[in-house]
Amino acid sequence: MNEYNVDQPIYALATAWAPSALAVVRTSGTGSVELLSRIFSSPGRLMNAASKTLVHGYLRAEDGSNIDEVVLAVYRQGSGYTGEEAVEISCHGSLTTLKRVFVRLEEAGFRLANKGEFTFRAFMHGRMDLTQAEAVEEIISSRSVKSQEQALDRLSGRLSARLNEIRNRLVGILASLEVQLDYAEDEILEEWVYPVSEVDSIISSLQLLSSTYAAGKIWRDGAKVVLAGAANAGKSSLFNFLVREDRSIVSPIEGTTRDYIETDIDLKGIPVRLFDTAGLRESGDLIEAEGIRRTQALIDEADLIILLADSADPVIPSSLADDKRLILVHSKSDLAPAEGHGISVSSVTGEGIEDLVDEIARRLGALSGEKDQSLVIDSERQHDYLEACISCLEASREASGQSVDIIALFFQAALENLGYITGEVTNEELLDRLFSDFCLGK
């Protein structure tokens, strides 16, 4: 968890984390306008915008493509809610869009705000009275924030044991470096040798953990769930039923072609991009063939494929027969009772929908292939810190020819990132390790 402070550029979603037509993302902090101008289609207009004015344009991705059409409300220092230079971004409210906006803001140099941090800043800048401030105190000291800080509390026993084991191994490497820097070459006679196999093994342990982060891709892009099946299998009915299951009203968006429609829904907290596709039947018709080709492309990229089959006629295309992403659904169970395996669903009575939603959520949660759910990384931040830790270690490998004072920097950075998940590694802990691992002292 980051420190609360009163200057770093921060961002947070001001509206609810749910699909909606529009959403507002707030930013605040010194340099917010300048940082945003780097990822905005009209940087000049934004930089010159007066306080409390609106600027229309596009948020741009790294490659220059548009992420979303947005309206930016600019607040110069002293005029906004926090009293700091700030920009409010009104953008479209699909979860996928929001996720992309967040990633882009992080890339631009904003960090996600801590709980209550906007209000904290407003108070620190004298824009709030004591009564209001007391409410913030409650937020900041609330149970949830505390447990968030003690990140290990949130991890399962086995996962935290595994992370701690990796942390200890890294502390061991860093201690072996530090001892070289804290004791002279006549006291520590051994030259430090880059522990290639130990680092490789730590990296692969970290990668294994990181890969369990099933929701990683899902949070960024939404899980792709594709409804497939024969033309009259009941895909559209199921599509509509699942959209209703989300309860937040979203009208389906037309796909780029008429061959499929897609929509963002939220299934048990997992953002899902649901696709209704054209039929899978072979066809001599060129136009339909193109549709089928696109459907096939969707299926190739899908995280889950829900294959609808008429209960009476469960034909599974051979290409999907052994596909682990497949969920077989007997549709129209109200017409004919289901037989064999698969989930029976009726889009008319709603029977079986609960089971299907549960199954989708379970399967998305288990995408990692890690069978033991207690060893799955479930938070995006944790995943990001793991990845950052891995890249520090990889960078250390490339720097292995440098002097030990430089190499130590990479391991310090690696441990700093891991420390966000497992708890900080203090200088004292390092020295403890150093004294217990090495016989020192003239």
Partner 1 sequence: MRDYDCIVIGGGHAGIEAASAAAREGFSTLMITQSLDAIGRLSCNPAIGGLAKGNLVREIDAMGGVMGHLIDQSMIQFRILNRRRGPAVQAPRAQADKFTYSRNAKELLEHTPRLSLFMDTVTDLIVEDGAVCGVVTQRGWKISSRTVALTTGTFMNGRIFIGEWDAPCGRLGEEAAFGLGDSLRRLGFDVGRLKTGTPARVRRSSLDFDELEIQPGDEEMLPFSFDYDCVDRPQLDCYVTWTNEETHRIIRENISRSPLYGGKIVGKGPRYCPSIEDKVVRFPDRERHQIFVEPEGVSTEEMYLNGLSSSLPEEVQHEFIRTLPGLRHCEIMRPAYAVEYDYLNPLDLYPSLESKRLRHLFIAGQTNGTSGYEEAAAQGLVAGINAALSMRGEEALILKRSEAYTGVLIDDLVTKGTKEPYRMFTSRAEYRLSLRHDNADIRLTRLAYEKGSAGKEKLERLEEKMRMMSDLKESLRAYRERGKNGLQLLKEPETSIEDLAVRIPRLSAFSVPVQREVALDIKYEGYLARQEAEAESLVKKEAMKIPQDFDYDSLKGLSSESREKLKQVRPVTIAQAQRISGLRVSDIALLMMGVRHWRGKGDQHK
Q: In the set 2, 132, 319, 374, which binds partner 1 (CB under 8 A)?
A: 2
Tell me whether residue 146 or residue 362 sits nearer to partner 1 (CB atom): 146
- Does 56 bind partner 1 (CB under 8 A)? Our answer is no
Kindly compute the dihedral angle of the four CA atoms of residues 223, 106, 113, 149, in this order, to the nearest 10 degrees. Answer: 70
Min dist. Cβ of residue 414 to partner 1 (A) = 14
Q: In the set 34, 182, 221, 394, which binds partner 1 (CB under 8 A)?
A: 182
What is the spatial distance between Cα 232 and Cα 309, in angstroms, rounded to a whole number? 9
Q: In the set 134, 153, 339, 351, which binds partner 1 (CB under 8 A)?
A: 134
Per-residue binder mask for partner 1 (CB under 8 A), 84-123, x = binder: ------------------------------x-xx--x--x
Q: In the set 79, 183, 375, 380, which binds partner 1 (CB under 8 A)?
A: 183
Q: Stretches 39-47, 81-89, 129-137, 220-228: which one binds partner 1 (CB under 8 A)?
A: 129-137
Cβ–Cβ under 8 Å, residues 112 and 11: yes
Instruction: State which of positions 144-163 bind partner 1 (CB under 8 A).
Output: 145-146, 149
What is the spatial distance between Cα 96 and Cα 271, in angstroms, rounded to a whole number? 8
Radius of gyration of the chain (CA): 26
- Does 409 bind partner 1 (CB under 8 A)? Our answer is yes
Q: Which two tokens stand for residue 114?
A: 């801590």
- Does 401 bind partner 1 (CB under 8 A)? Our answer is yes
For residue 440, which of 207, 213, 216, 182 has the smallest C-alpha distance?
A: 182
What is the spatial distance between Cα 313 and Cα 159, in angstroms, rounded to a whole number? 44
Per-residue binder mask for partner 1 (CB under 8 A), 188-227, x = binder: -x-xx-----------------------------------
Min dist. Cβ of residue 75 to partner 1 (A) = 21
What is the spatial distance between Cα 245 and Cα 277, in angstroms, rounded to a whole number? 19
Min dist. Cβ of residue 219 to partner 1 (A) = 24
How many residues bind partner 1 (CB under 8 A)? The answer is 56
Q: In the set 50, 184, 193, 286, which binds partner 1 (CB under 8 A)?
A: 184
- Does 435 bind partner 1 (CB under 8 A)? Our answer is yes
- Does 316 bind partner 1 (CB under 8 A)? Our answer is no
Instruction: Report DSSP state, residue 40.
Output: B
Report how far apart the first and last C-alpha atoms of the chain are (Å, whole number): 41
List, in sequence order, every beta strand (DSSP E) within 51-123: 53-60, 66-75, 86-92, 111-112
Min dist. Cβ of residue 159 to partner 1 (A) = 22
Secondary structure element (H or E) that encloses residue 124, with its range: helix 117-124
Which residues, including other chains, have CB under 8 Å from residue 211's CB and lie 6 or more apart? 368, 369, 370
Q: What is the 3-state secondary structure (H, E, C) of 135-163?
A: HHHHHHCCHHHHHHHCHHHHCCHHHHHHH
Q: Stretches 67-75, 185-193, 259-267, 315-323: which one binds partner 1 (CB under 8 A)?
A: 185-193
Tell me whether residue 63 or residue 398 sits nearer to partner 1 (CB atom): 398
Secondary structure element (H or E) that encloses residue 47, with its range: helix 43-48
Min dist. Cβ of residue 309 to partner 1 (A) = 53
Instruction: Report DSSP state, residue 266.
Output: E
Q: Which two tokens stand for residue 72?
A: 């930016």
For residue 356, the one-letter residue type is L
Instruction: Report DSSP state, residue 7.
Output: S
Min dist. Cβ of residue 182 to partner 1 (A) = 5
Cβ–Cβ under 8 Å, residues 228 and 278: no
Q: Stretches 18-26, 94-102, 125-133, 222-230: which one binds partner 1 (CB under 8 A)?
A: 125-133
Q: Is 255 helix (H, G, I), strand (E, B) or coil?
A: coil
- Does 440 bind partner 1 (CB under 8 A)? Our answer is yes
Q: In the set 126, 157, 284, 369, which binds partner 1 (CB under 8 A)?
A: 126
Phi, psi (degrees; rounded to nearest 5) at 318: -60, -30
Min dist. Cβ of residue 406 to partner 1 (A) = 6
Binding interface with partner 1 (CB under 8 A): 1-8, 114, 116-117, 120, 123-124, 126, 130, 133-134, 136-138, 140-141, 145-146, 149, 178, 180-187, 189, 191-192, 401-406, 409, 426-428, 430-431, 434-435, 439-442
